[in-house]
Structure 1
Amino acid sequence: MQELISQADGLGHALEVGAAIGDAKEVGLGSYAVVPQGYDLRSLEKFEASPMRKSGAVTLEDAASFIRYFNLHAIESSQIYGRINPPMFVGVLDDHGGDYPGWKEHLVKYACPFSIEWKEWSSKDKTGMSQEQFAEFIERNLPDIVEPPGADMLEISRSLQAKKKVNFSSGLRLANGQQELTYEEEIQGTSAKGKLQIPETFKIGIQVLEGGAPYAIECRLRYRIKDATLVMWYELVRPHKILEDAVNDVWSTIEQQTTRLIYRGSI
């Protein structure tokens, strides 16, 4: 008798499973089936030849690639969102339409990567350095300096390196825009005074964004004399406006080549 009950239970379970699985059903754009263990509804999309709709996020490295990808996949409701600082553009290719919702799951992003030169100069902005450190920094980045001429800045750099064992006493701003530093140097047991002139400002010409236009950026040269030791640094003049201008240039290019007005914001 027990064996017959067991067989009946097994048959009943098999019938339940068969009824639960049944045939695949069409729901919306996809196929679904009910499976046992709670009778969950499972999508069969992964068994199709291709997905039912586009999705995923792509991050691109330049504005031209962002524009090409957006234009390739854009539909009527596609939108672009952008911000200035930190710079970022996000294209939502399946965004909401005016009278219908979108999935917002197919995205293309462009983070406007900074150039190596911008990262180098902005990272040391307002950072005090010993005269030797400052001289090495200037010599390492000499190709970026456009005013005064590179040869003049190289001479200043080497003068700073040569005078690293002297005692600086004072500084004076000259009428020609130069700054004159007075120092004392021991030469064969004799103390001798000398003067070193450095510019009050200099200019660099660098790209702000990778692949972007170069910008002329003014830098103010600063120094402090403490305990006869010279500390030097530079200050970029209004770097936030330089960055804003560089990103606005990309902003205009994207709007023109995608024919979409960019929303100022993020997603």
Structure 2
Amino acid sequence: MNKNRVVTIMNKELLEIKKDKATLTSLFIIPIIFSIILPLLIIIGGTRNALIQNVSGINQFLGNLSVKFLPNNIPHSQIGTYALFIYFFIPLFLLIPIIVSTVIASTSFVGEKENKTLEGLLYTPVTDSELILGKIMAAAIPSVFITWGSILIYGIILDTVGLTIFGRVIFPNVVWITVGFVLVPVITFLSILLVIMVSQRVSSSKSAQSVSMILILPLIGLIISQASGLLIFNVLVTLLLAFILVIIDFVIFKIVVKKFNREKITLNL
């Protein structure tokens, strides 16, 4: 595999993403809600706030969460708030790279089909694996960095405004670090692979987004199980899940490359 070709394709894709102002703007809506609006609502109103109580899953999460995951030096009155910030928000932030990468990747092959720019790329000496990896990296880089930026903003808000609530800095802990630097990249890679797999067989980016979201539902279900309190992303669970996803990523990448048919794609343009 020629790394220079992969980088060239990646840079080309990133340039196209940068030009699409409407898509770029929409990518920040969910991160802003999860990293700024929702945590501020909890900090200002507490877990007994009527608005917070109406957020689906919070009551069930607090009821199922085991006390072994909670530190002893947190004020008893703030245990619920601490649990929400440290554990309940993890699956929300794992949804960010899935949503962002799905939007970006769905415009990759399908977007080039719609703009009639894919045919010229298919006739270049770039190999299938180089082409697909370049497009994956172009979608993964902004997705991962947007997620990291969201986690950073979330941490700043939590440790500055929340300092008066807990009396100490509580973020980040080792679980959040592991989730951010290990789990986020592999989940992003898998999401993009599924989108590219679908994109080869549909004619519009909206169709690609719809079908790929259906394929990603099992992954979303696993993430939501954390929000119910039935599965907690501690370090061991996070590393184990990341290891499994790395294997799945490798297998699906090989399948996508093998099933990639330039002639069929060209005829369908």
Same fold flag (TM > 0.5)? no
TM-score (norm 1): 0.26
TM-score (norm 2): 0.26
More helix by share: 2
Which structure has the larger Rg over C-alpha atoms?
1
Greater relative contact order (Cα < 8 A, sep 6+): 2
